[in-house]
Structure 1
Amino acid sequence: MIVGLLWLLGCQLAGTLIVDATGIPLPGPVVGMLLLFVVLVLRRRDAEDDPIIQVGDYFLSHLQLFFIPAGVGVIAYLAIIRDAAVPIVVALLGSWLLGLATVGWVLNLFLRRVPSVAGTEGAPGEEIE
């Protein structure tokens, strides 16, 4: 378990060092997560024996505890959130609608290019007998 935790922390540290050295506009932990992905792909071990997978499973079983800092942050900044409620709600709804429209647009493009995925052999809108 300690070995897996050291791998996770080592990848995060390496990601932070890479970001500091290169100045790329990404958070260090994100680069570390990409490094961890590369390590996991290159190692290709059995999930039962890999200490990284065991630590990841342990953290996932206690995932609800990771939401506590976010909840405390919301409570700590409740006055600011209350004062800016309208822009926050507009931003949330706008981003949701934009994401929904984007997914619909991409799906529509995909279905036009690959009509057999939709279960049809004809053009979109054609009736199948």
Structure 2
Amino acid sequence: MLHALTLILLCQLAGETVVLLTGLPVPGPVLGMLLLLGWLFLRGGISEEVGRTADTLLAHFSLLFVPAGVGVMLHWERIQGQWPAIAAALLLGTLVTLAVTALTMAGAQRLLATVGRRRRGAAGD
């Protein structure tokens, strides 16, 4: 588990470092996840150890929201005056996420249908 956790954290550190050095407009952890994904592709899949470690982290995922909640309570006076903007951003972000998810799902279904037709057509030849 220690090796897998080290790999995950090193990927995040690498992502943060690349963003810091290059000024990319992408959060470091997102780039770190992409680096981890690339590493897993190169390795040919997820090892059992990385899978177990990821499952353990995901099982305790809710704990990661505690610091954010404490921060909201700590800065409540500042946030209180900004609630219309925050509510609008949350609503708009949710709607955009739903739309992008629906479009991605529709595109994936069309792609899978096309691939299925091609395979059936190739099998009939």
Both proteins in one fold, TM over 0.5: yes
1:77 and 1:9 map into 2 onto residues whose CA distance is 29
Residue number in structure 2 paired with 1:76? 74
**CA-atom RMSD, angstroms?**
2.9
Corresponding residue number in structure 2 for 1:8: 8
Instruction: Report the residue type matching 1:24 in the other structure.
Output: L
Question: Relative to structure 1, is the Cα distance of residues 37 and 89 closer, same or farther in structure 2, using a 3 angstrom cutoff?
Answer: same
Q: Post-superposition shift, 1:28?
A: 2.0
Instruction: State the partner residue of 1:63.
Output: 61
Which residue is 2:43 aligned to? 43
Normalised to the residue count of structure 1, the TM-score between the two structures is 0.66
User: How far is 1:52 from its partner?
Assistant: 1.5
Structure 2 residue runs without a partner (length 5+): 114-125
Q: Amino acid of the residue matched to residue 60 of structure 1?
A: L
- Shift of the alpha carbon at 1:85? 2.0
Number of equivalenced pairs: 108
1:46-91 residue CA offsets vs partner (Å, 9 max, x unmatched):
65x2x22111111011111111011111111111221222232233
* TM-score, structure 2 as length reference: 0.67
